[in-house]
Amino acid sequence: MDIMANVLLAAGCSPAMAHALDEVEAFVGISSALLVNMGTLSADWVAAKKLAARKAVELGKPWVLDLVGCGATPVRTASCLDLLACAPTVVRGNASEVIALAAAACRGASGNSGGVRGVDSTAASSDALEAAKLLASQHRCIVAVSGAVDYITDGTEVVAVRNGDVLLTLITAAGCSLTALIAAFLAAAPPGPGQQLLATAHALAVFGLAAEEGLKLVPRPGPGSLRVALLDMLHLMEKDAVLAGARIERL
Amino acid sequence: MDIMANVLLAAGCSPAMAHALDEVEAFVGISSALLVNMGTLSADWVAAKKLAARKAVELGKPWVLDLVGCGATPVRTASCLDLLACAPTVVRGNASEVIALAAAACRGASGNSGGVRGVDSTAASSDALEAAKLLASQHRCIVAVSGAVDYITDGTEVVAVRNGDVLLTLITAAGCSLTALIAAFLAAAPPGPGQQLLATAHALAVFGLAAEEGLKLVPRPGPGSLRVALLDMLHLMEKDAVLAGARIERL
Amino acid sequence: MDIMANVLLAAGCSPAMAHALDEVEAFVGISSALLVNMGTLSADWVAAKKLAARKAVELGKPWVLDLVGCGATPVRTASCLDLLACAPTVVRGNASEVIALAAAACRGASGNSGGVRGVDSTAASSDALEAAKLLASQHRCIVAVSGAVDYITDGTEVVAVRNGDVLLTLITAAGCSLTALIAAFLAAAPPGPGQQLLATAHALAVFGLAAEEGLKLVPRPGPGSLRVALLDMLHLMEKDAVLAGARIERL
């Protein structure tokens, strides 16, 4: 939660983190977008996640589901399915998580793990493209698969984003922070067809680019320096640098 | 909690964080001061906060209430009022939080939000000065309003502190860490009238100064570097630098 | 948890953190080693810790117990005793924590605190050597006492590790992160007598050495820079540097 909140603050947003059952709905009421992260799965947290998601849908606010560790345990997969049924605007996971969710959505929450071991992916993002398209079509949402190349799809269109650095896989909650940024970009997206897909792709590009640009300033890059540089660069990056550096491609 | 604990360690203190109902009182027993932070509002955490606060009062130990997000949701405002009734030594909030608490204290916990949106303030600290004086007088405590200028009052005296940097608003838990430092300074304050007010002002000055001095060493300041530099400087800063750099003024 | 996970990622591991009662056993099932940290002692967390520990033993996987704050409160000492009864492979604590646990193991969980105040030690690691040997013999486990010199014992053999830097005492969860690294080294240890003792000593040496080497690159060392440098160096350190720099001695 710490790095997620700091990523949002560095990018100019105003994050608030809440999980108490009796205030999550009120927080959704004063928010521009909601992020539901599956990292912590205590029973009362899961109940609060559902309450918050339903409130967001009721109020017409965008909400994003982060599939942390989907497929790693049966409880985790089942909880992700429960939240998927609450109509997220965007679902974000790594390849293993998206494959596990699509498999579970097809045959119920039982079955094997789709290559998930813990919370890190054992598959390439392109391996999950068909699973992502299937999920997006069936659940009328946008699915973002992050990896060396990120893929974003609404079931029909597919956008690839080629920003980022492999060192991002060595800092915890990099994926979670990315999802938080997607929520922020959705909050700021103009209305209209395709705008949420584009906003999601832009969030992925900006996050990856901040890592790339940040690492250029570090004499001896490692995961500790990357965390610092990422936050600095999200704050310092000029719009021009973003426009010039984003590697977004419609497939 | 991570940055709060690191701020305290860097400043030479020995922090311990506990929220289990059956050990918070024992922890207060071995502590020199207590910090109660309203960030997490699960029912059992709130119960533990009250137990801890009452134990501190019973043992005559100073305790500090951090108003995180007071005014953002009805539950949050009501919980802050509950803790205010437990006789804190110092209450710390941003302008919006202090205004919301004062309004709620006057008319019960219902009513509007006093300009709170999430946990960031939408008001300047000077806007909250009258609310702070009112709270301090009515509840016989010290109220600290942090912002571009910090104000500390016991209801009669007002002290302004002009240290800090606007970049502090872009790192999460900066306010919370500041409150933790207030608790540490209270633990070390000599007895006598006005000493707790002064200790609170000194904590605010030292925290702000550590940020200022730290940023001087960073070639390209951003929120990531600030976190690192703040912790380094709290450890490295000499007493002389603090005395020379503190901008504290009695109003 | 944040710094622990980042230490493991930087060192090339794949950490997952879980505390929900209904998935901890499944997570142990897909893990190579388990770390049980006593930092958070809510009733449901303690129950989950025991479930996880028993599952690890059932599956023949190594597990490590971190004694955070043992001795600070009666609840904490009693919980540590409960977990000690679940047959950990390695127990790690600072001198005060190990002394408190040994004292409690001899006479039940009541009694005084063994010099624990909060979670920081008030004793030198050598003061705990006899307590460590006693615990190791009686519970057939390895006990690691961290401090200026680290001692690792199985009750018969004693190994001393002289890596590290005093600045590590000024960052929160440094001990916890070290314990996480012990779990990782146990996961990778070859079978055979003495190998787990050696793996534990290696983890302590590598962690300490990463701090030493990292600090060499920092112009003005403080706790903020140490956190960054430690993570960088765990990722960057070559095997040769580790072999050359480790100061491990059989006593």
Tokens read off for B251: 């109003």
Distance from CA of C235 to the nearest CA of A (A): 6
Specify whether the CB–CB gap between A63 and A33 falls below 8 A. Answer: yes
Tokens read off for C93: 């604590």
Nearest to C228 among A40, A120, A225 (CB): A225
Specify whether the CB–CB gap between A71 and A45 falls below 8 A. Answer: no
Where do we find the tokens 């079509």?
Answer: A137
Q: Which residues of B touch C4 (CB under 8 A)?
A: none
Beta-sheet pairing, C90-94 with C63-66: parallel
Specify whether the CB–CB gap between B145 and B98 falls below 8 A. Answer: yes
Q: What is the pLDDT of residue B123?
A: 83
Share of chain C above pLDDT 90, in %: 85
Distance from CA of C251 to the nearest CA of B (A): 32
Tokens read off for C221: 């060392």
C37 has a pLDDT exceeding 50? yes
Nearest to B231 among C43, C117, C222 (CB): C222
The DSSP-derived string for A106-157 is HH-S-S--TT-BTTB-SS-GGGGHHHHHHHHHHHTSEEEEESSSEEEESSS-
Q: Which residues of C touch A42 (CB under 8 A)?
A: 19-20, 44
Q: C174-226 pLDDT, tens per residue?
A: 999 999 999 999 999 999 889 999 999 999 999 999 999 999 999 899 999 99
Determine, for residues C118 and B16 on separate chains, whether the beta-carbon distance falls below 8 Å.
yes
Specify whether the CB–CB gap between A236 and A206 falls below 8 A. Answer: no
Determine, for residues A27 and B220 on separate chains, whether the beta-carbon distance falls below 8 Å.
no
Query: Would you report the helix, strand and coil content of chain B in percent, each value rounded to 5?
Result: 55, 15, 35
pLDDT category of residue A116 using cuts at 50, 70 and 90: low
Tokens read off for A230: 């990422």
Determine, for residues C2 and B2 on separate chains, whether the beta-carbon distance falls below 8 Å.
yes
C139 has a pLDDT exceeding 90? yes
**If interface means Cβ-Cβ distance under 8 Å, which residues of chain C face chain A?**
2, 5-6, 9-10, 14-20, 22-23, 26-27, 30-31, 44, 217, 227-236
Mutate to test the interface with A, among C42, C218, C228, C230 (most CBs of A within 10 A): C228
3-state secondary structure B28-93: HHCCCCEEEECCCCCHHHHHHHHHHHHHHHHCCCCEEEECCCECCEHHHHHHHHHHHCCCCCEEEE
**Count: domains in chain C:** 1
Q: Across residues B219-233, what is the average pLDDT?
A: 96
Position C247, amino acid: R
> Following CA atoms B15, B17, B22, B28 in sequence, which dihedral angle do they give, to the nearest 10 degrees?
30
C-alpha separations of B113 from A9, B69, B120, C6 in Å: 22, 10, 12, 38
Rounded to whole angstroms, how far apart are CA atoms B191 and B188? 9
Residue C245's Cβ-count burial label (10 Å; 0-12, 13-18, 19+) is: middle
- Least reliable range by pLDDT among B153-167, C13-27, C102-116: C102-116
Q: Which residues of A touch B223 (CB under 8 A)?
A: 6, 9-10, 231-232, 235
- Report the Cα C208 to chain-centroid distance in Å: 13
**Maximum C-alpha span of chain A:** 50
Q: C87-133 pLDDT, tens per residue?
A: 999 999 999 999 999 999 987 544 444 445 566 777 888 899 999 99
Q: Which residues of C touch A224 (CB under 8 A)?
A: 6, 10, 227-232
Residue B241's Cβ-count burial label (10 Å; 0-12, 13-18, 19+) is: middle
**Maximum C-alpha span of chain B:** 50
Domain housing A239? 2-250
Distance from CA of B160 to the nearest CA of A (A): 26
Determine, for residues B2 and C173 on separate chains, whether the beta-carbon distance falls below 8 Å.
yes
Determine, for residues C42 and B19 on separate chains, whether the beta-carbon distance falls below 8 Å.
yes
Mutate to test the interface with A, among B1, B37, B42, B171 (most CBs of A within 10 A): B42
Q: What is the pLDDT of residue A119?
A: 65
Tokens read off for C171: 């960052």
Rounded to whole angstroms, how far apart are CA atoms B8 and C120? 13
Rounded to whole angstroms, how far apart are CA atoms A89 and A87? 7
Share of chain B above pLDDT 90, in %: 85
Where are any strands of DSSP class E within chain B?
34-37, 63-66, 90-94, 142-146, 150-153, 158-161, 248-250
Mutate to test the interface with B, among A17, A35, A177 (most CBs of B within 10 A): A17
Determine, for residues A231 and B228 on separate chains, whether the beta-carbon distance falls below 8 Å.
no
Rounded to whole angstroms, how far apart are CA atoms B78 and A30? 17
Determine, for residues A10 and B170 on separate chains, whether the beta-carbon distance falls below 8 Å.
yes
Q: Across residues C155-180, what is the average pLDDT?
A: 96
Q: Which residues of B touch C69 (CB under 8 A)?
A: 16
Q: What is the pLDDT of residue A108?
A: 57
Tokens read off for B207: 């925290």
Where do we find the tokens 């000077």?
Answer: B126
**Angle value at C-alpha A233, between A232 and A238, nearest 5 degrees:** 130
Computed over every residue of chain B, the mean pLDDT equals: 93
Rounded to whole angstroms, how far apart are CA atoms C146 and C64? 14
Position B175, amino acid: G
Residue B117 is classified by DSSP as B
A175 has a pLDDT exceeding 60? yes
Tokens read off for B8: 């305290």
Where do we find the tokens 């973003």?
Answer: A242
Angle between helices B223-236 and A223-236 (to 10 degrees): 120
Rounded to whole angstroms, how far apart are CA atoms C93 and C82? 16
pLDDT category of residue B25 using cuts at 50, 70 and 90: very high
Q: Across residues C75-92, what is the average pLDDT?
A: 97
Determine, for residues A76 and C23 on separate chains, whether the beta-carbon distance falls below 8 Å.
yes
Nearest to C224 among B19, B20, B230 (CB): B230
Q: Across residues A140-161, what is the average pLDDT?
A: 97
Question: Of A237, A160, A238, nearest to A200 (Cα)?
Answer: A160
CATH number at residue B103: 3.40.1190.20
Q: Which residues contact C160 (CB under 8 A, 6 or more apart)?
A: C149, C150, C151, C152, C248, C249, C251
Q: What is the pLDDT of residue B21?
A: 93
Nearest to B228 among C2, C73, C228 (CB): C228
Rounded to whole angstroms, how far apart are CA atoms C204 and C199? 9
Determine, for residues C172 and B22 on separate chains, whether the beta-carbon distance falls below 8 Å.
no
Beta-sheet pairing, B90-94 with B142-146: parallel
> Following CA atoms A42, A44, A47, A49 in sequence, which dihedral angle do they give, to the nearest 10 degrees?
-70
Find residue A144's DSSP bridge partners: A92, A152
